[in-house]
Chains A and B, each alone.
Chain A
Amino acid sequence: MIQNLLEELGKNGSFYLHLLLEHIGITFTAVIIATILGLAIGVFIAQKQKLANSVISVVNIAYTIPSIALLGFLISFTGVGNTTAIIALTIYALLPIVRSTYVGITTIDPKIIEASQAMGSTDSQILWKIQLPLAFPVIFAGIMNMVTMTIALAGIASFVGAGGLGVAIYRGITTNNEVLIWIGGILIAVLALVIDGILSVIGKLVEEHKVHTIVNKKVGYALGILLVIIIGIVGMQQYSKSDTIHIASKPVSEGYILAEIVGTLIEADTNLKVEYTHGVGGGTSNIHPGMVRGDFDMYPEYTGTSWQIVLKHKEDYKNDKFPMLSAEYKDKYHFLWKGMFGFNDTYSIGIRADLAKEYGIKTFTDLAKYAGQLTFGAEYDFFEREDGYKALANAYNYHFKKVVDMDNGLKYQALFDKKIDVMTVFTTDGQLSDPRVVVLEDDRNFYPSYMAGMVVREEILQKHPELEAVLHRLDGILDESTMAQLNKKVEIDKEDPKQVAKEFLQSKGLVVK
């Protein structure tokens, strides 16, 4: 395991360094904003004690909101990306700062405050020269607490498409790659420990009076200037993005691969730059609003998903409805369906290859004749769902010898071990590239169609007409079994989606080696 980690770090070191720097950037922007804001609120309520309880309860409540819920909620206001992550992290970071500032200031011996008043200090002199320095140990403990918490919490930020080490973890989870999860997790832990160590040394120096006035106006100004610089840099990056195509992907291997295929081809064929936001949490529900806002320019989507989730049609999507689908997309959102890859990632039935050959079963209808001799396996919820087992059995008149429910991850192994004969599959499952299993044809179109294609903002095509030709070259380049093979490379062979995409394009002669 350790060897795998080191190998991966050696191979993609710059990728992880980039994530680490991004992580530090996101964390520290949030930490600086929260510190300034939290100090201000803490100081304010320390002067206005009547407000203190209500303000602290509000901050407390914000703190108890589960991070996933808060992030999901913020997406609808600030979209996906670093901004949302920074806002969420700032909200969480506020509580420790507000509370420690308030406690630090209000527990100072009132005699000392009175003495400083009696000597003719103004309110701001009392604050800067007496209250803040005396409250410093308490405030600093709050800051240390908050910084390590924020570093850890920022790992979740990739759920909303933000950068940082969470990207490695999230990609690891969605592509079933443990090495990525370990590296992301370990780097976050190491970062938190290192920063904590540095801060405790600083804290000790200040308390031993070796650094005299760390909390003074100069530091305040310096932090302010730093903040302006960070905002400036972020702003510049946003501005320079005008010639950049932003591609999003869903948190599944297939999403990563398709996005990389499109992006790689765009960069090869045009002068445009491509930026990826991989594995957006919630998939369509969050990427579609991001497209509407213009955060993303295009993303790989499935017709059936759009039909039900975006257009909210009740009836199933079938291929003959494509003109309706694309017309509604154009009218409602000014999005176009381009680059239809040619494969249908839908539900289907897989059967042991030896049985398929023996009985000559090719279609769902063929299966009905032999069902009485076969065992059928599916994940537990397939037997619960309205459109699951019952509907399928009714449609094709199946009467299996036995039905078994089992964990999705163990299904293929059970089939290879001949514990089950037939099972539900997705047509592009990575394991389907194994010769021991064969996919049957849904000859009566029982299942909706989920054709994969790129949803593209019309505006970006008008701005960069050269994209039209690039996307056209993607039409029909993938069938189900090819896609299943690419998925296998990522999920089972643990290859990098970018590399898989590049090799595929080379094999098709779309990109020169």
Chain B
Amino acid sequence: MNQIIEYKHIGKSYQGKWVVRDCNLSINEGDFLCIVGTSGSGKTTLLKMINGLIVPDEGDITIFGTRVIDQDIISLRRKIGYAIQGDGLFPHMTVADNIGYVPKLDGVPRGEVDTIVDRMLSLVGLPLDSKEKYPKELSGGQQQRVGIARAYANSPKILLMDEPFGAVDSITRYQLQEDLKKIHKQTDCTIVFITHDMHEAFKLGTHILVMHEGKIQQYGTTEEVKNHPSNDYVKQLVEMTR
């Protein structure tokens, strides 16, 4: 297993308060890592360090074997998919333009972009006739699917997802979870997925990272966390899923 993302003694503070302190973590290629924690636990901070939206105050973060600060941030970001909760979609672009956004930035010819868009639509289970629609014409679940399709359009090695299913109803959420599992199986993509829902983490993740107040509580495979919680906090979370 190849290491793809590595955090070394990572710290980040806002206005003198540490939101993340001395985090060490390595993620292997092909992992589906779910980061679980309450809001303010530092999970989003960790995620945004991967594509350089947040720069750590302490420590180093290494992607593909090179420190993020030593890489060309624009080309690194184009190799990392990004999906967020709610409407991160561009409201002035059609579904096709939203999905084709990154390939176009990368200079992929128009014809190939069309092929990519069609492939992505079928991957996330959207009908082809939604291509020319605008985000506001879609349901919440459909918008979320477009968000995933857009994040995956450039066939990134890493997919970052920040509570992508937080704003949809439970039936849609179930379908989206199934689809995401399918995508992970079909590809060799490494997924870092943020959720506050332990159920979701157990269902999706191959690995689980539990964060609380800026500190790592436990990091291990889903089985390890489920069967051997490392402390009371994790135990409490696991028990809530029973």
Q: Interface of A with B (CB < 8 Å)?
A: 109, 111-112, 114-122, 125, 129-130, 133-134, 136, 209
B141 contacts the other chain (CB 8 A): no
Measured CA separation A392–B57 after assembly (Å): 89
Shortest C-beta distance, A221 to chain B (Å), equals 20
- Looking at the complex, which one of A112, A120, A136, A209 makes contact with B105 (CB distance below 8 Å)? A120
* For the complex of A and B, 8 pairs with smallest distance between CB atoms: A120-B77, A120-B78, A115-B88, A118-B82, A133-B92, A119-B102, A120-B74, A118-B51
A114 to B47, CA, bound (A): 13
Residue of B nearest to A206 (CB): B92
Interchain CA distance A104-B72 in the complex, whole Å: 30
On chain A, the residues within 8 Å of B167 by CB distance are none
CB of A122 within 8 A of CB of B53, answer no
Q: Are the CB atoms of B90 and A130 closer together than 8 Å? A: yes
A117 interface neighbour in B76, B77, B87, Cβ under 8 Å: B77
Contact of B53 among A114, A121, A130 (CB under 8 A): A114
Other 13 A-B pairs with CB < 8 A, given A118-B82, A209-B94: A111-B87, A112-B87, A114-B53, A114-B84, A115-B88, A117-B77, A118-B51, A118-B53, A118-B160, A120-B74, A120-B77, A120-B78, A136-B92
The contact of A119 among B78, B87, B92, by CB within 8 Å, is B78
Query: Contact check: which of A112, A120, A209 meets B134 at CB < 8 Å?
Result: A209
B193 to chain A, nearest CB (A): 15
Contact of B92 with A134 in the complex, beta carbons under 8 Å: yes
Contact partner, A115, options B75, B80, B82, B94, Cβ 8 Å: B82
By size class, the interface of chain B is: 20 to 34
Q: Which of A112, A115, A117, A134 has the most CB of B within 10 A?
A: A115
> In the complex, A63→B204 CA distance in Å?
60
Among B89, B90, B102, which residue has its beta carbon within 8 angstroms of that of A120?
B102
| Contact pick for A111, options B75, B84, B94, B134, CB 8 Å | B84
Kindly provide the distance from the CB of A203 to the nearest chain B CB, expressed in whole angstroms. 14
Q: List 19 A-B contacts (CB under 8 A).
A: A111-B87, A115-B88, A115-B89, A115-B90, A117-B53, A117-B77, A118-B77, A119-B77, A119-B78, A119-B102, A119-B105, A120-B76, A120-B80, A125-B105, A134-B90, A136-B92, A209-B92, A209-B94, A209-B134
Q: Which residues of A contact B202 (CB under 8 A)?
A: none
Distance in angstroms from A264 CB to nearest chain B CB is 60
A115, B84: Cβ atoms closer than 8 Å: yes
Q: Mark B80-107, 1 if CB is under 8 A from A, else 0.
A: 1010101111111010000001100100
Contacts of B94 in A (CB 8 A): 209
With a cutoff of 8 Å between Cβ atoms, the chain B residues found around residue A118 in the complex are 51, 53, 77, 80, 82, 160
Which B residues contact A (CB, under 8 angstroms)? 51, 53, 74-78, 80, 82, 84, 86-92, 94, 101-102, 105, 134, 150, 160
- List of B residues within 8 angstroms of A116 by Cβ: 90, 101
CB-CB under 8 A from B86, the residues of chain A are 111
Cβ-closest chain A residue relative to B79:
A120
Decide if B101 touches A119 in the complex (CB within 8 Å).
yes
Known: A114-B53, A115-B82, A209-B134. A120 touches B75 (CB 8 A): yes
Contacts of A119 in B (CB 8 A): 77-78, 82, 101-102, 105, 150
CA distance A66 to B45 in the complex (A): 53
- The residues of A that contact B75 with a CB separation of less than 8 Å are 120
Specify which chain B residues have a CB less than 8 angstroms from the CB of A129 in the assembled complex. 101
Chain A: CB-nearest residue to B72: A120
Contact status of A112 and B88, CB under 8 A, knowing A119-B105, A120-B102, A209-B134: yes
Which of A112, A119, A121 neighbours the largest number of chain B CB atoms within 10 Å of its CB?
A: A119
Q: For residue B81, which residue of chain A has the nearest CB? A: A119
A121: B residues at CB distance < 8 A: 74, 105
Closest-CB distance, B94 to chain A (whole angstroms): 8
Nearest CB on A from B216, distance (A): 24
Give Cα distance in the complex from A55 to B82, angstroms: 36
Set of chain A residues within 8 Å of B87, measured between Cβ atoms: 109, 111-112
Chain A neighbourhood of B88, CB < 8 A = 111-112, 114-115
Residues in A neighbouring B84, C-beta threshold 8 A: 111, 114-115
Is A134 within 8 A of B91, CB to CB?
A: yes
